[in-house]
Chain A
Amino acid sequence: MHLTLEFGGGLELLCQSVKIHNVDVDSPAGEEKLTMKDLLSWVRTNLIKERPEMFMKGDSVRPGVLVLVNDCDWELSGQLDTTLEEKDVIVFISTLHGG
């Protein structure tokens, strides 16, 4: 499944300072759907090069990281249970920087 991932608010520093990643992610073996939970574990394995604790806590994002799926807060689409579809755009923004 083709997805666009965008990292902002300093999170891009964890993936070699690249903000936008066009990626192909498959559903886990034996599953039909790809959920945000699957995507997060994929991101952690494949994109995050350093300090994963700045991005994740447990199996979700660290509190203070905003997640938008197609420009909509993931709290409205079911957070970790959000089902992803082809060409979805997922944005991660860290709010934990000074302002």
Chain B
Amino acid sequence: MEESEATTKKPRSRQCCICKDRRAALKRPKNLEQICRECFYDAFEEEIHKVIVQNQLFKPGERVAVGASGGKDSTVLAYVMSELNRRHQYGLELFLLSVDEGITGYRDDSLETVKRNEIQYGLPLKIVSYKDLYGWSMDEIVKAIGLKNNCTFCGVFRRQVRELIYFVFARPVVSLIPALDRGAALLKVDKLVTGHNADDIAETVLLNILRGDIARLGRCTSITTGEDGTIPRCKPFNFENLDDIDTYAYFKKLDYFSTECIYSPNAYRGFAREFIKDLERIRPRAILDIIKSGEDFRISTTTKMPEQGTCERCGYISSQKWCKACVLLEGLNRGLPKLGIGRTRGRNGQQRDAPQTNGGMKNIGSKQCGTLDF
């Protein structure tokens, strides 16, 4: 990547504490080291490599999908993964996987970025769309239900897209959705990597505490999740600060897209983010320490955890007779879009399972967009 001219201009900083030669360009939040750009690239990339090796995230020959939104985290992830795969001979077959929710003015623009990344990094791109999978784009859903609750649909569908990709593409089962069958032979996936960073995880730890969501609190800090029969997915940036990722993307002049989803006010998560950013300013290690706290929580054995079964209609994991996505789709298709939204459940003649002490735990309907479940 080209160097900007500005580096040649009167540096006012100290020497890099690693090479003791070049001038420092940044101070890393995790250890307050003042380092130059080149040493930063090395340190950052090697940290990711270490996480991959220590946690044995991949095996040679695996087909690994990089969840690509066109945003900075996934762009840096795609770039670093393809670099490391080459440099350390992981032997992985990498490709970009994007979900097109069908949001004009947001996803169409960000997908253009992903299409450029496909060429820049030489990674094949696969796009799966809500429209193909469910018959509805988010634009159409918003038109039908308005701007309240739309994040519920998006979040539920997104979570299920992941599983569908796995069940249909990775395991040769009969597809419930014809659109997926058509692409099935082309796309076999062993693992999904996502660009979730330390700030995201810390934020999610806080949100799960604030929501009393013990089941997710236990899972959200794991680097690898979904080994229980769902698609294994991992987060190599688990311990990388957002600021480092942004700085990396800027210095490397990576091509990424930055606009918030036009439908998502996401106020609750926004507060949590602002809060941890305020903490970070006072104490830069705060973010990694919140993750540490999340990892070290022990859940009392007497805590009742939600039971999981499978949806009678589509076979997806569900604690109800029908999974959330099927209930929501049924509502959309019958012109009753409020079906499955909000606190009152118990459609399909079924009981509200479990006493209401853990009512918030399973109410996917109240989840904000952007939970770490994708």
Contacts and interface: CB of A to CB of B under 8 A. Distances in A.
Specify whether A and B are partners. yes
Interface of A: 8-10, 13, 62-64, 66, 68-73, 75-77, 82, 85, 87-89, 91, 93-99
A91 B4 CA distance: 12
A82 B11 CA distance: 12
B278 A72 contact: no
Given A97-B260, A98-B71, A99-B197, A70 B247 contact: no
B70 to A, nearest CB: 9
A76 B259 CA distance: 29
Given A76-B14, A89-B6, A99-B72, A10 B277 contact: no
Nearest to B34: A76
Interface in B245-263: 245-247, 250-251, 256, 258-261
A62 B277 CA distance: 9
Given A73-B27, A98-B69, A99-B69, 10 more contacts: A9-B72, A10-B260, A63-B281, A64-B277, A70-B6, A75-B27, A77-B13, A88-B9, A95-B243, A99-B74
Interface of B: 4, 6-7, 9-14, 23-27, 34, 37, 69, 71-76, 195, 197, 199, 242-243, 245-247, 250-251, 256, 258-261, 273-274, 277-278, 280-281, 370
A89 B9 CA distance: 9
A33 to B, nearest CB: 13
Contacts of B199: 95
Q: List 6 tightest A-B contacts by C-beta distance, closest first.
A: A99-B73, A99-B71, A63-B277, A76-B13, A73-B26, A64-B277
A70 B14 CA distance: 14
